[in-house]
Amino acid sequence: MSLYARSSESDPAEEQAAGEQAGSRNPFRVLREHRNFRVFWTGQTLSLIGTWMQTMAVGWLSLELSNSAFIVGLVASMGAVPIVLFSMHAGALVDLGNKLCIVRITQALFLLQAAVLFAVTVTGHVSIAFLVVLSLVQGCLSAVEIPARQSLIIQLVGRNDLQPAIAINSSGFNLARVLGPAVGGIVIGKLGIAWCFGLNAVSFGWVLFGLSRIRLEGTVNSGSEGAEAKLRMPTSGSEGGGRGLRTILRQTTDGAVEGLRHLMQPGSVRELLILVTIGAVLGGPFISIMPVVARDQLGLGAEGYGALLAMLGIGGLIGALLVAGPVSHRAHKGPVLIGAALMFPVLLLAFAYTQVLWLAYVLLLLTGGAMIMFNALSNGVLQLLVEERFRGRLMAFYSLVFVGLSQAVGAFALGALARAITASHAIGASAVVLAGASAVAWRRGRFWREI
């Protein structure tokens, strides 16, 4: 097994045995045993319900204002541009600083962004241009917040419980995906679309409350001497403000380059990251043009669109719980990971062309399960393969492809393709190419046999 970046403080075989002994098929064990993670997960999940309400509402509002699949994809993609441009620098910054503090600050700024969106919508001043600007602001915050939040999890639960914790974190994400769009559709029908944004702003209070209760007694030891010396924040007393800022910029740039070189070394990490990147660009963006599929192919309104997203979330929730429980208990997770990678595009292709509502629900349920099983497993495996000092940059790269390239490239291209050849053909074409890439990884890749 080519775990080229294992921690040097313990033997891999002993660590795996300890993890299996401590493991449990109960997917909720990590919530019971780790107070900090329980507090973190509860606040995040409640906040994510509001975030999914806002995501659903922004997509529907974009369609109402423009009546264009291209504009819907454009608005979705704009939030990813800062992630594409700045993620690796942000990851280096995360490795420099206090991850918990960074998450607290960015969550507070998310609250402010949602409040502004509520204000301009409820007063009737919202426009496509304003949605694009706020989407860019959200992208700038996400570029920093995502790697900080993802790399914080190991400090809350430790190495042995990292995989089930990531899966449980995904279950909260998908529980919110179920409840958020469903509640959002009701809110739009009863109160108006602006209140999806207002309630999202209120929901950030939950996550900020949870983050305020987390107390970290120490950090995870990477086991690598001198790891912290390569990236060190300059002190205000030793350098002037301008010079200190230039030092930070130089360190983050050097750190970003170092991180990319490390991640691109031959081995399991690079192979898995290639498949993750292809899947993110070709598979994830179908959600951005779901409003078009819901309205034009299935004849649904806002509430029906919310129900489709909810069904996708239910599937994801089931998949996440499977990973947190029985899959995390397995000694070898590679076959499950590659199986999910192969199943997802096949199910997506079938969904692209169905015009039967109940069948669309079933296909989205299965699609959500396969998608989240692949995402959660790849996230956990990758974090265990790298040293602590590179974890922020790994998660920055992960967000770069899953959020940045998926939206800035994938959603934009899919929206343009949907405008030219219809949404169903656009999703179907992406699914066929992704299925081919997954088949190549299955036949030629070594990573899934080694993990």
User: pLDDT-derived band of residue 220, with 50, 70 and 90 as boundaries?
Assistant: very low
Report yes or no: 285 and 74 within 8 Å, Cβ to Cβ: no
pLDDT of residue 243: 62
pLDDT of residue 386: 77
Q: Nearest Cα to 111, choosing from 188, 50, 175?
A: 50
pLDDT of 361 above 90: yes
User: What are the extents of the domains in the chain?
Assistant: 28-216+248-450
CB atoms within 10 A of CB 201: 20
Q: Nearest Cα to 162, choosing from 388, 447, 371, 448?
A: 388
Give residue for tokens 């990884």.
441
Q: What is the mean pLDDT of the chain?
A: 81
- Residue 13 CB partners (closer than 8 Å, separation 6+): none
Comparing 22-26, 225-229, 304-308, 359-363, the range with the smallest average pLDDT is 225-229
Distances 61 to 58, 73, 302 between C-alpha atoms, Å: 5, 12, 10
Report yes or no: 418 and 73 within 8 Å, Cβ to Cβ: yes
Report yes or no: 248 and 94 within 8 Å, Cβ to Cβ: no
Tokens of 253: 């740039």
| Residue 198 one-letter amino acid | G
Report yes or no: 213 and 39 within 8 Å, Cβ to Cβ: yes
| Residue 234 one-letter amino acid | P
User: pLDDT-derived band of residue 227, with 50, 70 and 90 as boundaries?
Assistant: very low
Q: What does the DSSP assignment read for 241-276?
A: HHHHHHHHHHHHHHHHHHHHHHHTSTTHHHHHHHHH
Query: In angstroms, how far is the first alpha carbon of the chain from the final one?
Result: 7
pLDDT of 434 above 90: yes
pLDDT of residue 74: 80
pLDDT of 366 above 90: yes
Tokens of 139: 């992208």
- The span from the CA of 85 to the CA of 87, in Å, is 6
Report yes or no: 127 and 179 within 8 Å, Cβ to Cβ: no
pLDDT of 6 above 50: no
Average pLDDT over residues 152-177: 83
User: pLDDT-derived band of residue 244, with 50, 70 and 90 as boundaries?
Assistant: low
CB atoms within 10 A of CB 213: 13
pLDDT of residue 185: 81
Higher-pLDDT residue of 113, 174: 113
> What confidence tens digit (pLDDT) does each residue in 415-425 have?
888 888 888 99
- The span from the CA of 299 to the CA of 147, in Å, is 38
- Residue 257 CB partners (closer than 8 Å, separation 6+): none
Tokens of 392: 């922020």
- The span from the CA of 194 to the CA of 196, in Å, is 5
> What confidence tens digit (pLDDT) does each residue in 309-338 have?
888 888 888 888 888 877 776 767 888 999
pLDDT of residue 1: 31
Q: What does the DSSP assignment read for 102-153?
A: HHHHHHHHHHHHHHHHHHHHHTT---HHHHHHHHHHHHHHHHHHHHHHHHHH
Looking at the chain, the whole-number percentage of residues with pLDDT higher than 70 is 86
Tokens of 210: 């949870």
pLDDT of residue 265: 83
pLDDT of residue 113: 92
pLDDT of 306 above 90: no
Give the DSSP H or E segment for 320: helix 302-322
Backbone angles phi, psi at 98, to 5 degrees: -85, 110
Backbone angles phi, psi at 51, to 5 degrees: -65, -40
| HSE (side-chain half, CA atoms, 13 Å) at 418 | 30
Report yes or no: 34 and 215 within 8 Å, Cβ to Cβ: no
- Residue 213 CB partners (closer than 8 Å, separation 6+): 39
pLDDT of residue 24: 56
Higher-pLDDT residue of 405, 22: 405
Average pLDDT over residues 440-447: 84
Tokens of 165: 């914790």
| pTM score | 0.71
Report yes or no: 377 and 328 within 8 Å, Cβ to Cβ: no
Give the DSSP H or E segment for 372: helix 357-385
Q: Is 319 exposed, middle or buried (0-12, 13-18, 19+ CB in 10 A)?
A: buried
The structural architecture, per CATH, of the domain 28-216+248-450 is Up-down Bundle (1.20)
